């Protein structure tokens, strides 16, 4: 993960503990109604209106092959910035910010065929998988979403 340490933002989905770099987290909001967009890849729940901006909501349950949940008011959306766009990640709950030392983070080759993890952090509460926010979406999914969303808006 580089030299020194970095701050990560931790959250859970089902029993899976995940983290992304804190620098990518814009804010956390309570879950709101999601508008379905026809013909988008299953990685997308749809879009939300966040302060007048349409933001795609990412279905990480699908990405991680977890039992899919309908979005409920008890969940939160992590509004995160990627290099290309702002996205909303659905989380069951947030655990907050951690600043692990590099020697505490173990590298992994891959955890899933479609997403590579940056590392694994072992804590006294269990394992946290640290991900690069840029790798949650694949290029073909982004292209298909953009085409479907553009067609719906025209």
What is the span of the domain harbouring residue 107? 8-153
Q: Are 129 and 117 in contact (CB under 8 A)?
A: yes
Does some domain include residue 56? yes
Does some domain include residue 3? no
What's residue 148's pLDDT? 67
Q: Are 116 and 63 in contact (CB under 8 A)?
A: no
What's residue 112's pLDDT? 53
Does some domain include residue 115? yes
Residue 140 has pLDDT above 80, yes or no: no
What's residue 85's pLDDT? 85
More confident residue, 63 or 91: 91
Q: Which of 121, 128, 20, 111 is nearest to 64 (CA)?
A: 111
CATH number, domain of 36, equals: 2.40.50.180
Average pLDDT, the chain: 82
What is the rounded distance in angstroms from the CA atom of residue 135 to the CA atom of residue 118?
Answer: 10
Give the chain's domain count: 1
């Amino acid at each position: 993960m580089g030299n020194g340490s970095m701050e990560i933002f931790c959250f859970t989905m089902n029993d899976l503990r995940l983290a992304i770099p804190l620098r990518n987290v814009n804010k956390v909001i309570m879950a709101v109604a999601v508008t379905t967009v026809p013909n988008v890849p299953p990685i997308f729940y749809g879009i939300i209106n966040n302060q007048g901006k349409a933001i795609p909501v990412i279905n990480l349950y699908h990405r991680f092959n977890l039992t899919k949940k309908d979005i409920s008011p008890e969940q939160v959306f992590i509004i995160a910035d990627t290099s290309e766009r702002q996205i909303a990640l659905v989380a069951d709950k947030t655990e907050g910010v951690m600043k692990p030392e590099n020697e505490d983070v173990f590298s992994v080759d891959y955890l899933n065929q479609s997403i590579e993890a940056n590392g694994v952090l072992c804590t006294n509460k269990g394992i946290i998988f640290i991900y690069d926010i840029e790798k949650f979406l694949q290029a073909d999914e982004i292209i298909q979403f953009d085409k479907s969303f553009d067609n719906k808006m025209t």
